[in-house]
Structure 1
Amino acid sequence: MAKLYFRYSAMNAGKSTAMLQVAHNYEEQGQAVRLFTAAIDDRYGVGHVTSRLGPQRATEVFDANTDFLHVVDQKVACVLVDEAQFLSTAQVQQLHKLAQVRGIPVITYGLRTDFRGEPFPGSAYLLGLADDIEEIKNICTCGKKATMNIRVDEQGKRIREGEQISIGGNERYRQACGRCFYSE
């Protein structure tokens, strides 16, 4: 039975690296995969999944208009989705249906919460519908397990208010444990 998987973590835990490795493993066995990432994530160019370790791969993009039930056919062994926090609730339902009805495993990778500790809608629905949920571990600067994300400005000072989505990498975000997230 195929499943919908949600693999989540704080920033910088290796989600994209893990996704690229899964794609490699399938393809090394001669199986076709479809990789997607959010169109709004342009950090390394639109339509690219890039690991901070260096590996990069061109992928398809999804946006608010993507209907996964129409773009994914039966000829694939697996669907992989990076930046899954940007999925809509309808798209999460579509991915769940791909796994449950069409029998195509779907593995999604993303953040649970934003820099304020509030869930992304896509992540909230993934937590509700995913058949398998896995945390990818990361550590805070204090050495404890990082579970939260902190947004910072150009000087490295913490930002506590603003739009939920602001695309950025290490220059904009830091991972933190709960204690450091709530400390001033």
Structure 2
Amino acid sequence: MATLNFIYGTMKSGKTLTLLAEAHNFKSHNRNPYLLTAAGDTRSGIGVIRSRVGITASAQTFDASEDLYEKIRQSHLENQIDIVMVDEAQFLSRDQVFQLSDVADELGINVRCFGLRTDFRGELFEGSAALMALSDHMSENTGVCASGCVANMVLRMGTDGVPMIDGPQLLVGGEETYEAVSRKIWKERMRSAMNNPSRAVV
């Protein structure tokens, strides 16, 4: 029986590296992995998945309006897909997570989704919340906070180096925008930012 899996973690926890390594292993056995990434994430180019260590792979893209079940079904009819791997899964809509569960349940293709669990405010992304509700299996890739503790939260940094306390949930950015930290550090720095009367809100 095929399964839907959610692998989550902060930035720099190795999620994308894991995805690319698994995809490489499938290809080395003449298997066909179907890679998907968010259309809005163009940091490495359109339809490119890139790890911070420099490994890349081409991928199909998705936006919030697409029916991923139909997209994958059509591709599967043309060239049999052995596994679906989704990068930046926090950008999925709730409906798209249901569609990916249909890929597993109706097409019999394993689906592995890699993404963030929570945003800079400590709130679940829509896609991540749906994955946590529907996934057969979940696992966490852990990063390291500058404090030496496990990094399981993310701060969105302003240009002045102070954490942002408000703003749009979905905002593509790298290390210039986000910082992975432990929960303790996240709480301390968010509380400090909230008590700063000059803190800009975007």
Q: How many residues align?
A: 184
Structure 2 length as normaliser, TM-score? 0.88
Q: Which residue of 2 aligns with 1:28?
A: 28
Map 1:93-132; keep pairs closer than 5 Å: 93-132=98-137
Q: Tell me the equivalent position of 2:92.
A: 87
1:79 aligned counterpart, secondary structure: strand
Shift of 1:156: 2.4
**Structure 2 unpaired stretches of 5+:** 193-202
DSSP 3-state at the match of 1:101:
helix
After superposition, where does 1:2-151 map in structure 2 within 5 Å? 2-73=2-73, 74=76, 75-151=80-156
Which runs of 5 or more structure 1 residues have no equivalent in the other structure?
none
> Which amino acid in structure 2 is aligned with residue 58 of structure 1?
S
Cα distance between partner residues in 2 of 1:72 and 1:178:
37
Structure with the greater alpha carbon radius of gyration: 2
Q: Which amino acid aligns with 2:17?
A: T
* Cα distance between partner residues in 1 of 2:66 and 2:139: 25
| CA distance in 2: counterparts of 1:142 and 1:177, whole angstroms | 8
Aligned-pair distance for 1:94? Answer: 0.6
CA RMSD of aligned residues (A): 1.0
Distance in 2 (CA, whole Å) between partners of 1:102 and 1:58 is: 23
1:154 deviates by 2.6
Shift of 1:172: 0.3
CA distance in 2, matches of 1:63, 1:81: 12
> How far 1:21 moved relative to its partner?
0.6
| Structure-1-length-normalised TM-score | 0.97
Alignment match, 1:152: 157
CA distance in 2, matches of 1:87, 1:47: 16
**CA displacement, residues 103-158 of structure 1 (integer Å, 9 cap, x when unaligned):** 10000000011000011000000000000100001111111111100001234221
Within 2, Cα distance between the matches of 1:66 and 1:119?
Answer: 22
